[in-house]
Every structure is written in structure tokens, then in C-alpha cells.
Amino acid sequence: MRPLRAFYRYVAFPLCFFGGVWLAHGLMARGHAPGLVVSGLAVVTAVVVIIGEQVLPYAAAWNRSHRDTLTDLLHSTLSNGGVSALVRPAILGLAAWLATAVEVPWSIWPTGWPWPLQLALALTAAEFAHYWIHRGMHTVGWLWKLHAIHHSAPRLYWLNAGRSHPLAVTVILLFDLPAMLLLGAPDAALAMYLVATAIHGLFQHCNIDLRLGPLNHVFSMAELHRWHHARTGPGAFANYGGNLIIWDTVFGTRYLPDAGIAPDAIGFEGDEAYPTGFLGQLAAPFQGDPNAFGQRAAAPVERAPTGP
Ligand SMILES: [Zn+2]
């Protein structure tokens, strides 16, 4: 295997993730604005992933547009970008105001821990909430209707990270962020969580044939997440973790067969009729039969076997 392909298979994600959070911590410690640091690292990571998709594609066909690029770009910039710019500060501001107004008497956050451990704690706390709201999005009808946009993707590549309904993004933020705030997480821990999420999210949906080995027991990375996007089978009801896979392991929904086995197809039954345009997808959760596109919600959640 040529060095660049080997780099993308085994090294690119760990290097970008651990190097990225280390660099972000250093930059923010020197007074650089967290928003700029998160955005800058997201751009650099996106460039690394886009090159990797050409060097070592998981599926060559997924590198060709499926008439989805513009829609995904609009979701990434307007749906996710809009929520990030407007809703997230509002949630954080409300929580900060409540903490001041109510004078929350507890703060069990271990501010004396080294920052990597604080980041691990922030991820673990947020992921517990994320696991249950994501699992709920696959089992509760109206939540699935908000989440179906994400699973209507005809292929998996770096831009899928932003393909979400703004209401779905808001619902997820309403779970993820308070989980950390309830523990008294300081702004620095929140900022590091956002850095980690930005880097991880771009790799999670990438069309790179990467292999994480033992790290597949820590991160909810592309090898696992492709099964989450599987059209049918046990993988379609597994791997709900956003950044980490640990809560799937705890609650019995981690699923990873041998690396040589791939999902037959991605999406969900009935997605042929799902809107493909940006505005149509924004309206889709509020239109038609309330059970339409709810096949995943109607199916039982089965305990999935745990792979290697
Ligand atoms: Zn999902």
C-alpha cells in the first residue's frame, strides 16, 4: 500500500482528532476566540477529508454527485450553520442566565483535572444524552420525521455531516449541551467539546476506507456509522453514538461485523419518494401521512450483536 493510502487508512483520523484538539487547546489558551478556532480546524479537517476521499475511497461511486451536493451544501451552511449561529448561543445564554438566577448550588465539574480528562468527561456526558435522543429519533415517529433527512442521503461523504433538519439539530443541542452544563462544565470544556465534535463529524461520514482497529471501541467512526445508515438489518438500529461508541456498547446496540462486509444499501425503505431539494426537505416533516417515511420508527429496536 502506498504511503499516502496507508496514511489515510490508519493515521489520518487519529492524527487530525488528537492533534486538532491539542492544537485547539493551545490556541484558546493563548486567547484566540473559540469560534474562530473551531471554524478554522473544521475547514482544515474538511480539506484533509476531501483529499482522502480521492486517495482512498470506500466506494468510488460515492465520489460522484448524486444531485445531492447543492442540497447538502445548503443544509451544512444554513440548517447547521444557522442553528449554530442562532440557537446554540441562545441555549448557552439561557443556561448561563438560569445558573445565575437560580444560583445552582452544585458544581461537580473537576476543574482541577488535566484538560484531556475534562474533554473526555464532556464527551461522555454529552454522548449519554446524544445516545438517547438519537435512539429516540429512530423509534419515535415525529422525531424520526425530523431525522429522516439525514438518512435520506443517497451516499456517504464528508458533507453528510451537515445534512440535517434545523429542528433536528436544535433538538439534539437541547439534549447534548445541558448534559454538560448540569455537571457545571466551564466554557473551556464546552469549547473543546465543539472542536472534537467538528473534527469527528467530518470524518464520521467520510467516503474514506479507513480502519481504526481498537479505536472502534472508543469512537463512533465511519466503519460503525456506515452500518447506522444501512437500509435494513441489525445495523440500521445500531451505533447511535455521535462521537463515542461507548454508550452503544453499554446498552447493547454496538454493531460492527468484519471489515470486509459492507451494508447492501444505505437509506430507508420509501426514500425513493423523499424530497431531494433543500426546501422540500425542510417541509417534509410537516407534510403528508404522519406515518410516511416512518418505517424505521415502526420497526422494533432489537438488541444488536457486538462485533470485534
Ligand atoms: Zn440516525
User: Separation of 241 CA from ligand 1 center, angstroms?
Assistant: 9
Q: How confident is the model at residue 307 (pLDDT cuts 50, 70, 90)?
A: very low
Please provide the average confidence, as pLDDT, over all residues in the chain.
85
pLDDT value of position 306: 44
Q: How confident is the model at residue 92 (pLDDT cuts 50, 70, 90)?
A: low
pLDDT of residue 304 exceeding 50, the answer is no
pLDDT of residue 261 exceeding 80, the answer is no
User: Separation of 52 CA from ligand 1 center, angstroms?
Assistant: 24
User: Separation of 99 CA from ligand 1 center, angstroms?
Assistant: 32
Q: How confident is the model at residue 248 (pLDDT cuts 50, 70, 90)?
A: very high
User: Separation of 97 CA from ligand 1 center, angstroms?
Assistant: 32
pLDDT of residue 301 exceeding 60, the answer is no
Place of cell 474538511: 46
User: Separation of 296 CA from ligand 1 center, angstroms?
Assistant: 10
Q: What integer is the mean pLDDT of 251-274? A: 84
CA distance 180 to 130: 11
pLDDT value of position 124: 95
pLDDT value of position 262: 75
Q: What integer is the mean pLDDT of 80-104? A: 64
Domain assignments of the chain as residue spans, ordered by start:
67-193+212-298
User: Separation of 61 CA from ligand 1 center, angstroms?
Assistant: 22
pLDDT value of position 55: 96
CA distance 256 to 239: 9
User: Separation of 26 CA from ligand 1 center, angstroms?
Assistant: 33
User: Separation of 172 CA from ligand 1 center, angstroms?
Assistant: 11
CA distance 278 to 70: 8
Percentage of the chain surpassing pLDDT 70?
Answer: 83
pLDDT value of position 236: 85
Q: What integer is the mean pLDDT of 155-167? A: 89
User: Separation of 10 CA from ligand 1 center, angstroms?
Assistant: 25
Q: What integer is the mean pLDDT of 279-283? A: 91
User: Separation of 138 CA from ligand 1 center, angstroms?
Assistant: 6
User: Separation of 38 CA from ligand 1 center, angstroms?
Assistant: 24
Q: What integer is the mean pLDDT of 87-116? A: 71
